[in-house]
Amino acid sequence: MNDMESNRIYDRAKAVEYAHEWAKGRNPAYYNFDGIGGDCTNFVSQCLFAGCGIMNYTRDTGWYYRSPNDRAAAWSGVEYLYRFLVANKKAGPYGTEQPIHDFFHNVREGDIIQLSYDGQVFGHSLFVVGVRPEILVAHHSSVNCDNRPLTTYEYARVRWIHIDGVRT
């Protein structure tokens, strides 16, 4: 199978549409992780899934959700999602961490931003829903947000994961 047969385009518009629909609420098809570590990466994963439609059911290193007790760590964990996306060579979405100096010029709707508040550990995932004239994000946390300017966040470090595509 060549690359064209095994890859599909990530539908950024569908992912962003999903983000706008559920940014300030909870899709009842998914568990709300607010009480056990936060719902931010679960929400970002839902957005990604809306844009790609393919999960990776690889035990321990995949990216999938069947239920709160049957899901990959990457579905709801910040670091796990990062590692899955940048290392994934199998089914599901994949991406690359981009140089931060390119961030404000090349970030796209449907990409992911992760924040570190202490400069060491990345602990919050945001979904990019707009890029002009400024970067706008949607996320779940104690205060759910949609179309929030990235400039309104305080953080020590930021990283940007560009979603390159989807493997079938």
Distance of CA 120 to the CA centre of its chain: 20
What percent of the chain has pLDDT above 70? 97
In 3D, which of 113, 94, 109 has the Cα closest to residue 160?
A: 113
Q: Note down the domain range covering 24.
A: 3-167
Segment-wise mean pLDDT, segments of 10 residues, the chain, 168 residues: 66 98 97 92 98 95 96 97 97 94 87 97 97 94 93 96 96
CATH value at residue 138:
3.90.1720
Instruction: Compute and round to an integer the Cα radius of gyration of the chain.
Output: 15
pLDDT at 37: 84
pTM > 0.85:
yes
- When divided into structural domains, the chain yields a total of 1
Dist. CA 66–CA 5, nearest whole Å: 27
